[in-house]
Amino acid sequence: MQCIVNRRAQFSASHRYWLPELSEAENIDKFGACSRFPGHGHNYVLFVSLAGELDKYGMVLNLSDVKHVIKQEVTSQLDFSYLNDVWTEFQQTLPTTENIARVIWQRLAPHLPVVRVQLFENPELWADYMGNSMEAYLTISTHFSAAHRLAHPNLSDQENAEIYGKCARTHGHGHNYHLEVTVKGEIDPRTGMIVDLGALNQAIEDYVVEPFDHTFLNKDIAYFGEVVPTAENIALYISNLLRSPIQELGAKLYKVKLIESPNNSCEIYCTESESNSASAVENQRVLMRV
C-alpha cells in the first residue's frame, strides 16, 4: 500500500538579497529591507514528505534513518549559517524561501523518496517544492476581521433560519478570518523568486484585507448583497479578486484557503480559466437559491 510520511526538522540561518551586478539603489528598489547588510535571520521549519510502500514492519522508511539523512545532508550544514555562502547553489540563485526548498530537494532526492519539501520562513510565509524543475509554490498568510449574516435575500427569515440556524440571526455575527493565498510560478534563476514578495503582499492588502477588514460583509461589500457570504463564497470571491493582479505580477494564483474558525475552513483551487471561474460563481449563486 502506497503511503506518504512526513518528517519535521528545523534550522536557524541568515541570508541577504543582494545582486552584485546591481547598484545599491537598484538592490534596495528590488529587495527592500532584505538587501540590508549584513543580512537577516529566520528560524526555518522544514517538512519533508516521503512516499513508498509499507514494509513488513508497517513502515515506509525507518524514521531514524530519515532523521539522520536530513541532518547530514541539510540541517547540520545550514544551521547557524549564512546561506548566501554555505552552498554554491545560493551564489548563483539567491536563497529565497522557494529556492532553498528546491535546493534541499536536490540534496535529499539521491538518498530519500522525496515527494514534497515544505519550508516555513516564518508562520506567515512558506514555500512548497515538488520536484518540477524550477516550478514552486509560495504561500502568504494574513487575516481580517469581519461580520456576516447567512441569509439569502429571496428567502423569508423563517426559511433562512431553517437553513442556516443561528447564523441567520438579524444582526449577524463576526469572525477573525485567517487567509492563506498560494501562488505558483517559475523560480527566477538569478533572484530565486517566483514573484515580487512585496508586490504580492501589497496586492492582497489592496484587494482583500483593506476592503474586507472591519466590515459587515452583507452590507459593505456589494457582491454579498446578492450572494450569501458563507466561507465558501467569500473564498471564491477572493480568488476572483486576486487572479488578475497576481497574473500581472508574473505568477498564477493556485489556492485560496479561508479559515473562518478553528472548526471551519475551505479551500478554492484556482485551476480554471477566468471565464470558467465566472461560471463557477454563478453556479454557486444558483445553489444558494435552491
At 166-207, the pLDDT tens digits run 999 999 999 999 999 999 999 999 999 999 999 999 999 999
| Residue among 194, 49, 177 at smallest CA distance from 125 | 194
Instruction: Please check whether residues 145 and 242 belong to one and the same domain.
Output: yes
- End of a domain among 76, 111, 131? 131
- Which uninterrupted H or E stretch holds 204? helix 197-204
What is d(CA 233, CA 167) in angstroms, rounded to the nearest whole number?
A: 15
The 8 Å CB, 24+ separation contacts for 252-257 are 252/183, 252/184, 252/185, 253/181, 253/182, 253/183, 254/137, 254/182, 254/183, 254/184, 255/139, 255/180, 255/181, 255/182, 256/179, 256/180, 256/181, 256/182, 257/179, 257/180, 257/182
Which residue from 237, 238, 231 is spatially nearest to 259, judged by alpha carbons?
231
Residue type, 224: F
All three cell numbers of 123: 508562520
Q: Domain check: are 203 and 86 in the same one?
A: no
Any catalytic annotation for residue 205?
A: no
**Distance in angstroms (rounded) separating the CA atoms of residues 173 and 163:** 16
Residues 180, 232, 260, 270: which is the catalytic one? 260
51 and 93 part of one domain: yes
Q: How confident is the model at residue 2 (pLDDT cuts 50, 70, 90)?
A: confident
Average pLDDT over residues 4-13: 97
Q: Which of 40, 68, 173, 214 is catalytic?
A: 214
Q: pLDDT > 70: what percent of the chain?
A: 93
Query: Could you confirm whether 214 is annotated as catalytic?
Result: yes
How high does pLDDT run on average in the chain?
93
Catalytic residue among 89, 111, 143, 167: 167
Residues 267 and 183 in one domain: yes
The CATH number covering residue 176 comes to 3.30.479.10
